[in-house]
Amino acid sequence: MKLLVTGGAGFIGSNFIHYIFKKYSDYQVVNLDLLTYCGNLENLKEIENNPNYKFIKGDICDIKLVNELVNDCDAIVAFAAESHVDRSILDSAPFIKTNILGTVNLLNAARKYSKRFHYISTDEVFGSLGPTGYFHEKSLYDPHSPYSASKAASDHLVRSYFHTYKLPITITNCSNNYGPYQFPEKLIPLFVTNLLEGKKVPVYGDGLNIRDWLYVEDHCEAVDLVLHKGKIGETYCVGGNEERTNLEITHKILELLGFGKDKIEYIEDRKGHDKRYAIDASKIKRELGWEPKYNFDKAMKETVDWYKDNDGWWNRIKTGEYFNYYKKQYK
């Protein structure tokens, strides 16, 4: 099988490409990524010389390029997205362009060439939960940020192409991912790298906002199962069943790195900050036999250790050295 993976130089996309090559030695992967601020080819250095792998710097909003690549693949796995809530609050335009218009380009090409299409989405499209209950496939959409609104719009578009054009699509809505190669603006890598640099960690509000945490490789396995065995036209919610407050995550990182609570700096809460996300993943477990394999405490330790052992990787990102290099390589 030949896969077109969009956004494959990002955190989850690069982990997915590594996962695919570990499991399917005969698969081919074309990675289409614009290499914006969070796209990092160092994430894929281990496989860059694999003859079954090809990287193309390009934009999913480029209709001509998208059509060429989709025509030459068997299936599309669409990770490409603007994904940081804080950035969407500052400027929503890139989120509308990439997450909505870019997705439409991919869908139109998939329809034109009759290709299998899998879309990676988020639990944030469902809004915020109270102290009880879980998001599931029938949950009503109630996005609270420009980011989640753009992803909600894309979910609806993807689903509409199934109903209107019979395009073979599936969607996964996942909870918060963590693991290697995550861009150091997200909570876990930001806090780890800040502490390793001798800085404090900025906790929004009272730190009691709750997220369900999912190790990235468990997510990759779920996407693989849905891509190959999922029912066409269906959505699958994917969660780790590991609810933690942001403060609990902070304390865990402090513990693993040997720091005290004096390293916490409470800051003004994020605008429209959703209180709680939690996912009921019983559908994918029941229908496809998926279960998260990674224990939270062990996976958190491995994640923190990865950032400790790969300080060159995140230092090059934080100092801008990576971007200066790749601007020259991929003009």
Q: What is the pLDDT of residue 270?
A: 84
Mean pLDDT value of segment 231-253? 97
Q: All domains of the chain, ordered by start, with CATH?
A: 2-329 (3.40.50.720)
8 close to 32: Cβ distance less than 8 angstroms: yes
Is a pLDDT exceeding 70 seen at residue 36? yes
pLDDT in tens, 275-294: 999 999 999 999 999 999 99
* Cα gap 193→298, rounded to integer Å: 19
Q: What is the pLDDT of residue 327?
A: 43
Phi, psi of 49 (to 5 degrees): -100, 5
| Residues above pLDDT 90, as percent of the chain | 88
Banded model confidence at residue 310, pLDDT cuts 50, 70, 90: very high
pLDDT in tens, 109-121: 999 999 999 999 9
Strands (E), the chain: 2-6, 28-33, 53-57, 75-78, 116-122, 169-174, 176-178, 201-204, 210-215, 235-238, 243-245, 264-267
Mean pLDDT value of segment 127-152? 95
Residues catalogued as catalytic: 123-124, 147
* Cα gap 287→279, rounded to integer Å: 16
Q: What is the pLDDT of residue 325?
A: 47
Is a pLDDT exceeding 90 seen at residue 319? no
